[in-house]
């Protein structure tokens, strides 16, 4: 089993509903976050193009819940672990706040809380998925850009969505960690 979030980038309008809902549900520290939106572009559609011949998209970022998470392998206490459902979690009572997991994460999605000295990250809302619900970011997405499910189940909606996307489905840069999250991006233009 590998739970993952599949993102259709062309549907994301950067409304920040996912970011706000995540912060409320999971209580990230002041000035910290578990999910955010990166804007990519505007970039020329063809080499040499200028406005209005440009394109851009939004990239919701969060923990990739890697298949081979480097944050887990460097944790000296076993506080960072991968569950049977494929999500990467932090056992707060076992965390010593050393920050090795923060340094090991290739996506910059972890931090050590200044007050508790415990590593924090997106848990894919384990408190919700354990009850059969969607992660809060997925539930709050106003553009229906975020989808949640088991990538290892070929009959799941997310597996079907990825299969249908074909070569338009991407993972973030992989350095041997095999990010589980999938991003779907159609090439598009702003011209009508």
When pLDDT is averaged across residues 1-8 and rounded to a whole number, the result is 96
Q: Where are the domains of the chain?
A: 3-184
For 127, the token pair is 């408190």
Eight-state DSSP code of residue 31: T
- Residue 19's pLDDT is 95
Given the structure tokens 């997405």, which residue do they identify? 141
* Tens-digit pLDDT profile for residues 33-91: 999 999 988 888 888 888 888 888 899 999 999 999 999 999 999 999 999 999 999 99
Average pLDDT, integer, range 163-190: 86
User: How confident is the model over 107-156, as pLDDT tens digits?
Assistant: 999 999 999 999 999 999 999 999 999 999 999 999 999 999 999 999 99
Rounded average pLDDT over 23-38: 91
pLDDT-derived band at 192, boundaries 50, 70, 90? very low
C-alpha 53/C-alpha 48 separation (Å) is 9
- Tell which residue, 89, 56, 86, has the closest CA to residue 72: 89
- This prediction has a pTM of 0.88
Q: Taking the chain, what is the end-to-end CA distance rounded to the nearest angstrom?
A: 42
Q: Tell me, what's the pLDDT at 54?
A: 84
Which architecture does CATH list for 3-184?
A: 2-Layer Sandwich (3.30)
Determine which helix (DSSP H) or strand (DSSP E) holds 25, and give its type and residue range.
helix 17-26
For residue 3, the model assigns a pLDDT of 97
Please tell me which residue, 189 or 66, carries the higher pLDDT value: 66
Indicate whether 190 pLDDT > 60.
no
What own/partner pairs with CB < 8 Å and gap ≥ 24 does 172-178 have? 172/64, 172/107, 173/106, 175/70, 175/106, 176/68, 176/70, 177/64, 177/66, 177/67, 177/68, 177/69, 177/70, 177/106, 178/66, 178/67, 178/68
What is the model's pLDDT at position 187? 66
């Amino acid at each position: 089993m590998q739970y993952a979030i599949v993102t259709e980038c062309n549907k994301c309008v950067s409304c920040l509903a996912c970011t706000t809902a995540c912060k409320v549900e999971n209580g990230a520290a002041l000035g910290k976050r578990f999910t955010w939106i990166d804007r990519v572009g505007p970039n020329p559609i063809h080499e040499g193009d200028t406005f209005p011949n440009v394109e851009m998209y939004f990239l919701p970022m969060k923990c990739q819940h890697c298949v081979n998470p480097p944050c887990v392998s460097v944790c000296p206490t076993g506080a960072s672990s991968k569950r049977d459902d494929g999500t990467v979690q932090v056992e707060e009572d076992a965390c010593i706040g050393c920050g090795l997991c923060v340094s090991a994460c290739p996506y910059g999605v972890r931090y050590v809380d200044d007050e508790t000295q415990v590593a924090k990250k997106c848990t894919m809302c384990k408190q919700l998925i354990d009850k059969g619900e969607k992660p809060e970011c997925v539930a709050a997405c106003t553009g229906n850009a975020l989808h949640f499910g088991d990538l290892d189940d070929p009959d799941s909606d997310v597996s079907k969505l990825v299969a249908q996307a074909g070569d338009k489905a991407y993972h973030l840069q992989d350095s041997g960690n095999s990010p589980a999250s999938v991003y779907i991006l159609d090439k598009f233009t702003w011209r009508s």
